Chains A and B, each alone.
Chain A
Amino acid sequence: MSQPSHSQSLPRYAWFVAVATLCLIGLGGMVTSKEAGMAVPDWPTSYGYNMFALPFSYWIGGIFFEHSHRLLGAFVGLLTTILAAWIWGRETEGRVKWIGWLLIMVLVAMLGHRGSASSDGGPANVPAHLKVLAGIMPILTLFGVVQCLQTKGSVRWLALTAFFAVIFQGLLGGFRVALFAEEIGVFHAALAQAFLTLICFIALRSSRWWQDLREDDWHEGFASFRGLFAFLTVLIFAQLILGAVMRHQHAGLAVPDFPLAYGAAWPDTSPTALAAINARRTDTFYDEPITPFLIHLHMAHRVGAFLIFTLAAVMAWQALNPRRKYSFLSKFALTWFGMIALQALLGATTVWTKKAADIATLHVVLGAGCLVVGSLVTVVAARVCPETLQFELPATASPATVTERHASPEATTV
């Protein structure tokens, strides 16, 4: 097997893919915020054209957002393909290398299609081989995840899994349109967040900074935090999924005021109250009647936000403890808390601005950012925090004491 070099070009390229993915998530957020998910009725063509050949005269209204999203999605797919081929080629040799590259080429070739003269929506216009691919890709993605776990996160399997996932993601988006299945949009949104996290993890894992990370008692104050970091990250992912369900059920304004809910701590969902709510709901375009389920869904998202904010605040408070402030993890934790606090404010602002598309989309993008930072903090903490405590810092330890201790060669723990 080739030894990975410490060249910075690969991690820099991976971070570029991550930024492109974040932009794609933002554009996807705008599609949902503008209710434009079906603005291009057909897939994989666009108004009967190959998607790369749609005339600019068609790029109006909701079509602009949906079509741009498809194009940027294709670009991110290309970037991910290059990343996967690069890493696989770098870390494998001989027959394994060529089999991997062949698999990548075959799957990319299968994404091609002749196109259709019809611009009508519906599954009838989807080529058969894409329907076959839609059955294969979830299995391949799952296979990749299993390989990642079995190889304890080897970068080449992370990269190949990302490649499988990005194809799967594209198919999910396409079939959401072709099958008129708004519920697929939720999986599409969730996979987008997971994919972004995966790309960022690949960028981190292939960086020299990660290679140089070692367990160090600078970070021992965070040893007990590893579980909290992981738990908070999982909670954020669950909140993101809940948010996606809420958005795709059009429940973002099911409760139109904040911090109260219809003027109370918890909204009344009795038939009388609902009758008044629906009769007076005239401040949105999308005004399908509100049901108790939609109100409870919306409130669950608020409860999740409160829980996450509270836990993050506890984490930030603990990070300021003198035992911990010498670790860079302290800065990570405080930055993460700042992002979560801003995310909570954006959530409230989304309600106050009656779900202004730009605010709601920023809320989606920052949510993705919170997930990424949490995931990376978790894995970094797992790598640098000592398994067992080497020494106990007294609560009154001064910075000078710590500095002296680390200046002493005998005290250094590697």
Chain B
Amino acid sequence: MKKHSKLVAAAALALSVFAVNAGDVTGRVTLKGTPPANKKFKMDPLCGRLHKVNLHEMPFYKVASDGGLGDVVVVLKGAKGSASGPVVIDQVGCAYVPYIATAQTGQTITVKNSDPLMHNVHPTPKNTAGGNKEANIAQPVKGMKNDFKFPAAETFLRFKCDVHQWMFSYVSVFDHPFHAVTDEKGNFTIKNVPAGEYEIEAIHRKVHGATAAQGYKGEVQKVKVTAAGGSANFSLNVP
């Protein structure tokens, strides 16, 4: 009993040390230059009925009025750790939400159908040599859920719905949990990063798409993380 309580105390101490020596990395990504207009389109009648106005935009560029760029994947390179809990992607109003997400290798990605009509969930990984498997699962009923796990890292692993040709979601899979996606104002937070010096990379699917064949290459900076956290800001340019 005494030995057991000593072990518990030691673990608690280690965790508190860890917590004291971990901080959040925050920052903002902005876009300079004028991006092209996103494609506008109308959904088919069944999907159109789910919206007040049936006119939509492909979410290629989400730029705030002050230049903040949304849907940028921000990742710490070389970090180590484990994620908990699933990443959830929903199908709402015949669109995947979120459009851009991140997950860890082996982490559960739950895709659910919140629409009252048929979708199919079709992940099309490129890193099949690493063990990521293509699948094509029907979700004809509202409320259906399917889980996916990908054992290999891959940037912008595509999910599509073949029933509705405009529906895409891209999940970037990394081998650690220290990554985030910027919100609509361009802000991001990577939580509980162990103290240390890292390289931090910001990747936008369109801005950095030219190198996709060799693996997406984003903008890289150095960031120092202490117990108080760390910060990194990026300014991307439209090529």
Contacts and interface: CB of A to CB of B under 8 A. Distances in A.
Interface string A252-288: 0000000000000000000110111111111111111
A287 to B, nearest CB: 7
A154 B36 CA distance: 59
A301 interface: no
B12 interface: no
Given A41-B162, A289-B212, 7 more contacts: A36-B165, A58-B118, A61-B47, A63-B118, A279-B209, A283-B39, A288-B158
A121 interface: yes
B210 interface: yes
Interface in A203-256: none
B39 A284 contact: yes
Contacts, number: 118
Contacts of A326: none
B39 A279 contact: no
Interface in A1-37: 34-37
A323 to B, nearest CB: 53
Contacts of A41: 120, 122, 136-138, 162
A289 B204 CA distance: 12
A270 B37 CA distance: 24
B163 interface: yes
Contacts of A285: 39, 41, 58, 165-166, 168
Interface in A30-55: 34-39, 41-42, 47
Nearest to B146: A120
A69 to B, nearest CB: 13
A275 B219 CA distance: 14
B37 A282 contact: yes
Interface string B161-185: 0111110100000000000000000
B118 A60 contact: yes
A318 interface: no
Highest count of chain B CB atoms <10 Å: which of A36, A279, A288: A279
Interface residues of B, number: 39
B207 to A, nearest CB: 6
A62 interface: yes
A122 B117 CA distance: 23
A180 interface: yes
Nearest to B164: A61
B136 A277 contact: no
B164 A282 contact: no
B163 A291 contact: no
B239 A276 contact: yes
A277 B238 CA distance: 11
B86 interface: no
Nearest to A120: B137
A327 interface: no
Contacts of A63: 118, 163
Contacts of A39: 120, 162-163
Contacts of A277: 210
B140 A282 contact: no
A116 interface: no
B46 interface: yes
A281 B238 CA distance: 12
B134 interface: yes
A147 interface: no
Contacts of B211: 275
Nearest to B167: A285
B210 A278 contact: yes
Contacts of A282: 35-39, 58, 60-61, 206
A35 B165 CA distance: 6
Closest CB pairs A-B (n = 7)? A121-B136, A278-B209, A41-B136, A275-B210, A275-B239, A289-B212, A61-B163
B213 interface: yes
A36 B212 contact: no
Contacts of B47: 61
B135 interface: yes
23 contacts: A35-B162, A36-B163, A36-B165, A41-B137, A41-B162, A58-B118, A58-B140, A61-B165, A62-B163, A66-B162, A119-B140, A120-B135, A271-B210, A275-B210, A278-B206, A278-B209, A279-B209, A281-B36, A282-B37, A282-B60, A282-B61, A285-B39, A285-B41
Highest count of chain A CB atoms <10 Å: which of B35, B36, B210, B238: B210
B239 A36 contact: no
Contacts of A37: 162
Given A120-B137, A121-B135, A288-B212, A279 B164 contact: no
B127 to A, nearest CB: 14
Highest count of chain B CB atoms <10 Å: which of A119, A280, A282, A283: A282
A286 B60 CA distance: 11
A258 B41 CA distance: 23
Nearest to A274: B210
